[in-house]
Amino acid sequence: MFWRRGGHPRTEAEAAATATATAGRAGAGPASGTGSPAGALVLEGVHREYERGVPALHPLDLTVPSGRFLAVMGPSGCGKSTLLQCAAGLDRPTGGTVRIGGTDLSSLSETRLTRLRRERLGFVFQAHNLVPSLSVLENVALPLMLGRARSMFAGPRRLARTLAALSESPEYVRSIDDADPPPCDRTHQTPRADPRTSTGRGPSRATAGDELRARDALAAVGLAERADASPAELSGGQSQRVAIARALVTRPDIVFADEPTGALDPATAQEVLALLRRAVDRDGHTVVMVTHDPVAAARADEILFLGQGRVVDCLEGADPGQVRRFMGALGRDAERRQAGPVKAPADTRTPVLSTAHEGAAR
């Protein structure tokens, strides 16, 4: 991974050379899908401001090579979720450039951006976000079915309303389809499906090809025998494994995971982390994970630390103890900043963070 504090300009040759060297150390091959030699994910000068110019994310540069596992950590409110949402095209940054597999997200319309998220990105959330009225198999096949939904429904707006009605997971629906819903049926206040194309309890039946890919994805997470089960019949760990299968079924360029182990017990969390780790090591996927858990972060190749919307530091190959010590130092520094103004050193690192990093380095 390559990052530079403050959004300072750097040449494409420099970024490409850094990414190539990093990938070489890791032995990473090209990611599935449309990988880019300069990185699966590239952020250049990306920053995000909210109302009245309040910065949630200060300008930063970041390159994540294909086939790498990056964890993002930091205190609550430090900008982790903002970084993930901008990187995944769920939010438009105030400035800067985000490229996924060489595609500049700022050049895409909302429709094309939605299609990119659906076809080239995978999402795993803390709350699983499974559609309760679909079977496990149909949940996994959902991104594939949406890819051909225009021919299965009267229109994309009706599809979005159908999904919203079916799902208790608006976060996931937003990640794959942003179309505005149409008016409901005034009698029943439910979306009207086209009787000529509506064939099942979900938005559409999976085709033979969709079903085969979905079954393969379920088998990869050890749940082939639960294909016909309802999400209500699954444990929390099983539900998250289904969510991972759904994220991987399209063979995405990047999987974005937001606190994927936050609601799981330690043993189940380890199973989920092992699946994400295997997706990187065996299948060449790229994973970007936001987490508060030092044990989860230690499974990544590298850990990016944020503080007050800025990149503070990066650790590579750290164990959970090292991550805890670094996070402790970062938390103490945040408390001092809240207590009063602190003059930052020229390189924007505080002495306590530099000391913590030296102790954590291998």
Half-sphere exposure for 89 (CA within 13 Å, toward CB):
33
- Reading the block at residue 305, the tokens are 């630390």
Helices (H), the chain: 12-26, 80-87, 110-120, 136-146, 156-166, 170-176, 208-220, 236-248, 266-281, 294-297, 320-339, 351-360
Count of H-run helices and E-run strands, the chain: 12, 11
- Rounded Cα–Cα distance for residues 36 and 67 (Å): 11
Distance of CA 137 to the CA centre of its chain: 22
- Rounded Cα–Cα distance for residues 315 and 301 (Å): 9
Query: Cβ of 95: how many Cβ atoms within 10 Å?
Result: 14
- pLDDT, residue 180, reads 40
For 287, the 3-state DSSP assignment is: strand
- pLDDT, residue 179, reads 44
Q: What phi-psi label fits residue 335: left (phi over 0), alpha (psi between -120 and 50 degrees) or beta?
A: alpha
pLDDT by position in tens, the chain (length 362)? 555 434 333 334 433 433 433 333 333 333 333 344 468 999 999 999 987 778 999 999 999 999 999 999 998 888 999 999 999 999 999 999 999 999 999 999 998 998 899 889 999 988 888 888 889 998 998 888 876 654 344 345 545 544 554 444 545 555 655 544 333 333 333 333 333 333 344 444 556 778 899 999 999 999 999 999 999 999 999 999 999 999 999 999 999 999 999 889 999 999 999 999 999 999 999 999 999 999 999 999 999 999 989 999 999 988 999 999 988 887 777 666 666 554 444 443 333 333 333 344 43
CA separation, residue 241 to residues 49, 221, 231 (Å): 35, 6, 11
- pLDDT, residue 129, reads 82
| Helices 236-248 & 208-220 angle (0-180, nearest 10) | 130
- Rounded Cα–Cα distance for residues 129 and 43 (Å): 28
Q: Quick: pLDDT tens for 266-295.
A: 999 999 999 999 999 999 999 999 999 999
Rounded to the nearest 5 degrees, what angle is found at the Cα of 44, between the Cα atoms of 328 and 47?
A: 60
- pLDDT, residue 206, reads 54
- pLDDT, residue 341, reads 53
Structural domains in the chain, CATH included, are: 2-130+234-360 (3.40.50.300)
